């Protein structure tokens, strides 16, 4: 809890001041005590309460003053708040290894289906944009709340050579900057300061390792400077499997291999194109404040995507709670005064007892 006016907490000092005045007044009353000859008369004048109940109204009154003093300092609490204006950039790997059939019917088809279900689940919520990357990365659909156009774009995805993860992150940053003025585009100096994350996030889904373009860690640092979190998903298994795609899923860069292309372990740039670079994906997430998820089949991919929105569509905001403290203090003070008036109300006199007759004289 933080305070907008911390100096107002000095008002709490009124409580010990009241206690000092009360103690001083009690001492004066003792000095001015009146001597009486009848203890019964004194007892009849006192309220019918036990010793501890007499302390309840003053205690409630003091507590009310403390609560009011805290409220005067304008306390603020950090609470989770759903953010429907968030922006999500979904960066999908469309490299040739996405034709691997270790996931039925192949990785690219399973990824498209999972992405479509994820987009559908966010209907009416945050804006979503699509970036695809193979040898290069490009913005397929700018951030939008048009769910139908996003799903239609997924249906037309094709695979190509190469894997440019770093470039995909930079392209996603630029797409976010187009709709969110608080995020600086790449090449511009981001605004400094602030510990809160931007109301935007990037989700990178890949089944391989970076083979082209910008180093992913360089791109991750650019995202971190802009307080944009990157969540990474490593998709696929390590089991050897043929790579088979339909003709409609090729962009033509594979030389018309049609129906499939060679072998169970092709290489690109000296790396097995189906070997997920998990250390790099984990480092990207750690650098930006995101998280890494592993998915070896379609069900795990669905679960990974479904779990992500809670990480970036719910943000913490500072809420002024002064009104709650003021109401609480008023209730305590009202209760103290009410109890005091009730317990000290005038009591009806009891029946008079006739004086005892004197004994007969002898």
Collect contacts of 308-312 with beta carbons under 8 A, ≥24 apart. 308/201, 308/203, 308/231, 309/88, 309/121, 309/122, 309/125, 309/126, 311/201, 311/229, 311/231, 312/86, 312/88, 312/197, 312/200, 312/201, 312/229, 312/231
Q: Which tokens in the block code for residue 96? A: 């040739």
Which range has the worst mean pLDDT, 37-41, 58-62, 257-261? Answer: 257-261
- Compute the distance between CA of residue 143 and CA of residue 127 in angstroms, rounded to an integer: 5
- pLDDT beyond 70 at 325: yes
Contact 114, 301 (CB under 8 A): yes
316 vs 77, higher pLDDT? 77
User: Does the reported pTM lie above 0.85?
Assistant: no
> What is the percent of the chain where pLDDT is above 70?
75
State the pLDDT at residue 203. 96
Which range has the worst mean pLDDT, 69-73, 179-183, 240-244, 266-270? Answer: 266-270
- pLDDT beyond 80 at 26: no
pLDDT tier at 326, thresholds 50, 70, 90:
confident
- Compute the distance between CA of residue 261 and CA of residue 267 in angstroms, rounded to an integer: 12
- Compute the distance between CA of residue 184 and CA of residue 222 in angstroms, rounded to an integer: 10
- Compute the distance between CA of residue 122 and CA of residue 157 in angstroms, rounded to an integer: 21
134-161: average pLDDT: 94
Which domains are present in the chain? Answer: 2-78+320-343 (no CATH), 84-312 (3.40.50.410)
| Tens digit of each residue's pLDDT (9 = 90 or more) over 195-244 | 678 888 999 999 989 999 999 999 999 999 999 999 999 999 888 788 88
78 vs 75, higher pLDDT? 75
268 vs 78, higher pLDDT? 78
303-308: average pLDDT: 88
């Amino acid at each position: 809890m933080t305070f907008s006016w911390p100096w107002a907490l000095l008002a709490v000092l009124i409580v010990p001041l009241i206690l000092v005045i009360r103690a001083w007044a009690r001492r004066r009353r003792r000095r001015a005590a009146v001597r009486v000859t009848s203890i019964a008369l004194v007892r009849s004048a006192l309220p019918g309460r036990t010793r501890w109940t007499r302390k309840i109204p003053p205690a409630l009154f003091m507590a009310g003053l403390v609560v009011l003093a805290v409220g005067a300092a304008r306390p603020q609490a950090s609470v989770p708040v759903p953010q429907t204006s968030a922006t999500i950039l979904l960066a999908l790997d469309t490299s040739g290894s996405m034709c691997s059939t270790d996931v039925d019917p192949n990785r690219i088809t399973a990824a498209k289906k999972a992405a479509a279900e994820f987009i559908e689940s966010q209907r009416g919520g945050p804006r979503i944009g699509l970036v695809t990357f193979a040898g290069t990365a490009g913005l397929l659909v700018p951030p939008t709340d048009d769910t139908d156009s996003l799903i239609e774009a997924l249906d037309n995805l094709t695979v190509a050579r190469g894997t440019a993860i770093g470039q995909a992150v930079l392209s996603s940053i630029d797409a976010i900057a187009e709709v969110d003025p608080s995020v600086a585009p790449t090449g511009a100096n981001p605004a400094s300061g602030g510990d809160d994350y931007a109301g935007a996030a990037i989700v990178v889904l890949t089944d391989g390792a970076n083979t082209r373009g910008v180093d992913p860690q360089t791109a991750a640092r650019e995202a971190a400077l802009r307080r944009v979190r990157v969540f990474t998903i490593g998709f696929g298994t390590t089991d050897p499997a043929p790579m088979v795609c339909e003709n409609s899923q090729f962009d033509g860069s594979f030389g018309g291999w049609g129906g499939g292309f060679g072998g169970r372990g092709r290489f690109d740039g000296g790396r097995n194109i189906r070997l997920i670079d998990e250390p790099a994906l984990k480092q990207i997430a750690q650098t930006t404040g995101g998280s890494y998820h592993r998915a070896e089949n379609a069900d795990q991919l669905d679960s990974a995507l479904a779990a992500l929105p809670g990480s970036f569509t719910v943000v913490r905001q500072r809420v002024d709670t002064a009104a709650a403290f003021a109401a609480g203090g008023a209730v305590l003070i009202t209760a103290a005064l009410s109890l005091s008036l009730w317990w000290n109300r005038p009591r009806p006199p009891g029946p008079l007892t006739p004086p005892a007759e004197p004994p007969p004289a002898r």
